[in-house]
Every structure is written in C-alpha cells, then in structure tokens.
Amino acid sequence: MSRLHDLYTERALEEPVGLEEFVEEALRRRLGAVTAGELFDFLDEVEGDMLHNIQVKSQELPYYQATQDDAETRVRQQIESLRERVRRAALDGDLKT
C-alpha cells in the first residue's frame, strides 16, 4: 500500500471523503509533497480496490450482478478522469513526475 492509499483509508474511516476531493487535496499539497507517479500509483490501487469490491458484491447479490458491467465502467471512467487531472497538473508544472 502506498502512503497516499494509507492516508485515504485512514481518512475514510474517520469521515466520508470523496476520491476527487482527496486527489485535489494532494494536488494542492495539503497532504505533503507528492509526485505524479505517486498519484498514479494511488489511483491504480483505488481502482483495483473498487473493482474488487464490485466483483465481490456481484457474487453476493443478484442486483449487483445485473449492474456489474455498468458499475465497473463508471469506476474506470472516474479513475481515468482523475488520471487526466493529474496529467494536466504535471504538464502545468504543478507536480514533479
């Protein structure tokens, strides 16, 4: 687990925190110095966690099984949107690569 993943998990246990909000905080350096690579690794970890959770839920409940593909697509789109946000920040010089 990465430092950012650990921070995100700790915060989520204390209070609801949106993934987009957390990434924005990281980009604003409110979580300490962070590189684009660290953010990409974090997003990869979170994406894996989210997809795994969807797969587990789809095995447990028929409703989730019927909506699994849509849920997985939404997760991939959300993560890709955040990756694009990180790429833009890196290109703008706001992050080290």
Segments in the chain forming alpha helices (H): 3-14, 19-27, 36-60, 62-91
pLDDT for res 1: 79
Predicted model pTM = 0.91
Q: How far apart are CA 96 and CA 29, in angstroms?
A: 12
Q: What are the boundaries of each domain within the chain? A: 3-91
pLDDT for res 96: 67
pLDDT for res 65: 87
pLDDT in tens, 24-75: 999 999 999 999 999 999 999 999 999 999 999 999 988 888 899 999 999 9
Residue 58: both structure tokens together: 């789809």
φ, ψ (nearest 5 deg) of residue 21: -60, -45
Single-letter residue type at 58: S
